[in-house]
């Protein structure tokens, strides 16, 4: 699919290139984006052997064993279940041809070499990943506080004595309130779609 003509057009080498939005349909990663669920690509880095596709919902990594092999392993890392952390950007020295963006998603470390001519675009990606990392960290703390608050409330209510003998009704009401509290907290603090972050920081 991604033949020599497309490779020449995009200027690919062993060092990654940032692909422009108008060329997203020329890369293999686009076939694995869940367009049916309104998933869209916001940033894409491609070398001869690998593709790193950042969508609003996940990082899609097409891992090639080598530039000459057609075999690929597809990995998908959802931001909702794989926290982004340890985001770093290594700029190029005087004689270097590439820059390097590093991060962890879940427990998987990434170190992506990109041609230094793309430094401005990679700076935008760096900002977006930093923001997602900070938001995820803050939301984890808020969700933990919400759970602790519910536990305290439940313990307190459990100590209240009641003259009402209908314990089944009380249990159902308390259980329903606890479930609703957890659901609302999850919706508020568990973000799955980070398109708004990419739209703010990515300047294609």
DSSP string over 87-152: EEEE---SS--EEEEEEEETTEEEEEEEEGGGHHHHHHHHHHHHHHHHHHHHHHHHHHHHHHHHHH
Residue % of the chain over a pLDDT of 90: 53
pLDDT band of residue 188 (cuts 50, 70, 90) is: low
The pLDDT value recorded for residue 4 is 46
**Which of the residue ranges 12-16, 83-87, 143-147 would you say has the lowest mean pLDDT?**
143-147
Residue 31 CA from chain centroid, whole number: 18
The string of pLDDT tens digits covering residues 97-142 is: 789 999 999 999 999 999 999 999 999 999 999 999 998 888 777 6
Domain segments of the chain as ranges? 1-204
Q: How many helices (H) and strands (E) does the chain have?
A: 4, 8
| pLDDT > 80? residue 197 | yes
The pLDDT value recorded for residue 157 is 58
| pLDDT > 60? residue 163 | no
Degrees to nearest 5, angle at CA 85 with 81 and 88: 145
The architecture CATH gives domain 1-204:
Roll (2.30)
- DSSP SS3 for 156: helix
Reading the block at residue 124, the tokens are: 């935008």
- Residue scoring higher pLDDT (171 or 26): 26
Reading the block at residue 6, the tokens are: 């497309």
Reading the block at residue 8, the tokens are: 């020449």
The pLDDT value recorded for residue 9 is 46
The pLDDT value recorded for residue 138 is 80
**Which of the residue ranges 30-39, 99-108, 161-170 would you say has the lowest mean pLDDT?**
161-170
pLDDT band of residue 95 (cuts 50, 70, 90) is: low
Q: Which residues contact 157 (CB under 8 A, 6 or more apart)?
A: 174
pLDDT band of residue 5 (cuts 50, 70, 90) is: very low
Mean pLDDT, all residues of the chain: 81
Contact yes or no for 129/103 (Cβ under 8 A): yes
Mean pLDDT within 146-172: 59
Mean pLDDT within 86-104: 86
């Amino acid at each position: 699919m991604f033949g020599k003509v497309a490779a020449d057009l995009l200027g690919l080498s062993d060092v990654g290139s940032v692909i422009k939005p108008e060329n997203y349909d020329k890369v293999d990663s686009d076939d694995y984006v869940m367009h049916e669920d309104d998933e869209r690509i916001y940033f894409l880095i491609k070398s001869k052997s690998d593709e790193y596709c950042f969508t609003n919902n996940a990082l899609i990594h097409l891992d090639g064993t080598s530039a000459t092999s057609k075999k690929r392993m597809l990995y998908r890392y959802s931001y909702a279940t794989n926290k982004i952390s340890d985001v770093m950007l290594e700029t190029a020295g005087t004689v270097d041809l590439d820059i390097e963006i590093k991060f962890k998603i879940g427990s998987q470390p990434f170190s992506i070499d990109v041609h230094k001519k793309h430094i401005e675009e990679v700076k935008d990606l760096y900002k977006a990943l930093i923001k997602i990392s900070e938001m995820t960290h803050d939301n984890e703390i808020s969700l933990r506080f919400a759970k602790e608050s519910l536990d305290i409330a439940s313990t307190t209510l459990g100590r209240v004595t009641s003259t009402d003998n209908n314990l089944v009704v009380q249990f159902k009401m308390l259980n329903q309130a606890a479930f609703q509290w957890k659901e609302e907290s999850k919706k508020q603090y568990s973000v799955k779609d980070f398109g708004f972050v990419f739209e703010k920081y990515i300047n294609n």
